[in-house]
Amino acid sequence: MRRRLTLLVAATTCLVLMAFLVPLALLVRQVAEDRAIGRAQGVLQTIVPLIGTDELALAVDGQTLPVSVFAPAGEVIGQEAPRTPAVELAALRREAFTVTTAAGRELVVPVVSGTGTYVIRTVVPHAELTRGVTQSWLALAGLGAALVLLGLVVADRLARTLVAPIADLSAVSHRLARAELTARAEPAGPPEVREVALALNHLAGRIQDLLREEREHVADLSHRLRTPLTALRLEAESLRDPAESARLAAAADDVARAVTTVIQQARRRGSEQRTCDATAVVADRVAFWSVLAEDTSRPLRSDLPPGPLPAAIPADELAAALDALLANVFAHTPDGTAFEVTLQPRPDGGAVLTVADEGPGFPADALRRGASGSGSTGLGLDIARRAAEASGGALRAGSAPGGGARVVLDLTRP
């Protein structure tokens, strides 16, 4: 926009200057010609009173222009010159006129005396006709260039005052897109741009209010689950079989922890950046799911790095994403299906988490949110995808080399 405004002003300035400078340049040339011809006519007029006197030859020789006087008897006084058709015509018609020739402008003035008609002739060369025109044209061109440069500077300053507020609005909109809900635009520039800035600030505030209400609503709904979970735990503790009681109590504790995590995530600020040790989180969740894998006769192979592996994702979100992927393995593959969990560092930092199984693989629309081919909610893969994208990474799903499903989470570095 800034470049277009500058080009528009430059084009307009050039058109205006051409409309004024071209006629002015032609006028300068015409004035120079008229000045030279007028000076020559003045010279001729000084000679007219001396026709037929003894001072004529002296007056003709003392002029700055080459002057020739053609006497009736054919004698030429002054500079020798041929008797041109203009001289003949002037003597015949007894009229003064100007003729354009190859040498310049030829001026002839007839003077009638008692002995006949004298014709005074002079030639104004082209150099005299255009004296000072080139310098004037160069001055006009310099003036035009200076005006164009001045117009470009003014246009650039004006365009900057228009573009800067728009660029600020763009930057604020990108910050809002990155969940920086506290970003606000400074109203500046023309009234229309200030109005847009105020509208964007109002929209950002409204979004912040709506998200706050949504978080609190989710937190309230999650908190309501604590009552039935407490009742479930009490029922589990009342069982006579200690092993069965411990198993149900542990399951109730897991659900309680999941509810607590949902509350914490709902109340977490959108702009908060958190990291975790991906190795520790994945090792903890693999240990948890290995018990269920053993109960269902599922061979589990895990490959984790020996040391810490930082990733730009909160620990609870990474755990929730891995739980969702492993829950899909248990829900959509038959008992005894082998699966593996691998975690590897990325060359540019971060981590790559891979979950693969030897089951039937994904249905065609498995990556669409809410879609499931086996009666589930269809949100497992979407939870993992959103967790990866929130950290700047991505999710890739496809078929494993030996058949079955394979999901890869790319996690960026902090």
Q: How far apart are CA 131 and CA 343, in angstroms?
A: 88
Q: Which long-range contacts (CB under 8 A, 24 or more apart) does 104-110 make?
A: 104/128, 104/129, 105/33, 105/36, 105/37, 105/40, 105/129, 107/37, 107/40, 107/41, 107/44, 109/44, 109/45, 109/48
pLDDT value at position 372?
A: 46
Mean pLDDT, all residues of the chain: 83
Region of poorest pLDDT, from 125-129, 135-139, 215-219, 248-252: 215-219
The pTM for the full model equals: 0.46
Report percent pLDDT > 70 for the chain: 88
Q: Above 50 in pLDDT, residue 369?
A: no
Sheet holding 300-303, edge to edge: 300-303, 339-345, 351-357, 405-411, 394-399
As given in the structure block, the two tokens for residue 353 are 């988490």
Give the per-residue pLDDT at 377. 39
- Per-residue pLDDT of 153-183, as tens digits, reads 888 888 888 788 888 888 888 888 877 878 8
Span 10-35, average pLDDT:
89
Q: Is the pLDDT of residue 219 over 80?
A: no
Q: For position 339, what pLDDT does the model report?
A: 93
Provide the 8-state DSSP code for 79.
Answer: S
Query: Residues 9-38: what's their mean pLDDT?
Result: 89
Q: How much is the CA Rg of the chain, to the nearest whole Å?
A: 49
Band (pLDDT 50/70/90 cuts) for residue 281 is very high
Give the closest residue to 44 by CA, choosing from 53, 30, 56, 31. Answer: 56
Please report the pLDDT score of residue 271 as a whole number: 45
Q: How many CB atoms lie within 10 A of CB 77?
A: 19
Range with the poorest average pLDDT among 26-30, 75-79, 100-104, 175-179: 175-179
230 vs 407, residue with greater confidence: 407
Q: Which residue has the higher pLDDT, 347 or 229?
A: 347
Residue pointed to by tokens 């203009």: 86
Mean local confidence (pLDDT), 105-133? 88
Residue 283 has pLDDT above 90, yes or no: yes
Give 299's pLDDT tier (boundaries 50, 70, 90): very high
* The two structure tokens encoding residue 367: 């990556």
Cα separation, 59 vs 128, whole angstroms: 21
CA separation for the pair 241, 249 (Å, rounded):
12
Above 80 in pLDDT, residue 273? no
Instruction: Judge contact between 197 and 187, C-beta under 8 A.
Output: yes
- What type of residue is 257? R
CB-based contact 356:405 (threshold 8 Å): yes
Asked if the model's pLDDT at residue 184 lies above 60, the reply is yes
Out of 12-21, 202-211, 229-238, 370-379, least confident range: 370-379
43: Cβ contacts below 8 Å, ≥ 6 apart: 63, 64, 65, 67, 122
Identify the pLDDT of residue 212.
Answer: 78
Tell me the per-residue pLDDT of 220-272, one tens digit each, with 9 for 90 and over.
Answer: 666 566 667 677 767 777 777 787 777 777 777 777 777 766 666 665 554 45
Burial zone of 188 (CB within 10 Å; 0-12 exposed, 13-18 middle, 19+ buried): middle
